[in-house]
Amino acid sequence: PTRQDCPLDKEKLGHYSWSLLHTIAAKYPEKPSSLVQKEMKDFFAIFSNIYPCELCAHDFREELRRDPVDATSQEQLSQWLCRIHNKVNLKLGKDLFDCSKVNERWRDGWSDGSCDFQPKLH
Ligand code: FAD
């Protein structure tokens, strides 16, 4: 086995989790029905209860109360998640991400074409 086959530490778990969350937001509909919006809010509520890093989950629940999920559109959800992720970045002393580039990073690929060789999700 390689190191990749080992249980995740907090950093790896975080990296993969953000990747999933931002990709979900990238693929979210432009005009979601009220049911779809509710499902997304429920998803984050449950996620923040079961995220397997207790302190992270605790702070995430507080952040959700301060700044509730905005699931009204793809743009709003992606911007909301970018904002929330930046709060964690700030707490950890990491660089803040420029949220105007969130769809380039997670949906469309960079405008310099550097992601063009990658297969797209359908
Ligand atoms: P990550 O922060 O994992 O980011 C992954 C990639 O996302 C980056 O490479 C960048 O391309 C992109 N990115 C960065 N910021 C943004 C943004 N704002 N919007 C869009 N894209 C962005 N760790 C702790 O030690 N303490 C905590 O309390 C904690 N809470 C967490 C709460 C949640 C909900 C999650 C999912 C993770 C949490 N983590 C926490 C883990 C932490 O946020 C990082 O994931 C981990 O430190 C690894 O960081 P990284 O440098 O690989 O980049």
Domain ranges of the chain: 30-105
Protein residue with its CA nearest to atom 11 in ligand 1: 105
Q: What is the pTM of this model?
A: 0.97
Name the CATH topology of 30-105.
Four Helix Bundle (Hemerythrin (Met), subunit A) (1.20.120)
Terminal Cα-to-Cα distance of the chain (whole angstroms): 31
Cα(71)–Cα(51) distance, integer angstroms? 20
Pocket, ligand 1, Cβ cutoff 6 A: 10-11, 14-15, 17-18, 22, 51, 55-56, 59-60, 82, 85-86, 88-89, 92, 94, 97, 102, 105
CA neighbor of 17 nearest in space, from 39, 40, 50: 50
Cα(81)–Cα(102) distance, integer angstroms? 9
- Ligand 1 centroid from CA 93, angstroms: 11
65-100 per-position pLDDT tens digit: 999 999 999 999 999 999 999 999 999 999 999 999
**What was the ipTM of the complex prediction?**
0.99
Name the DSSP class of 52.
S
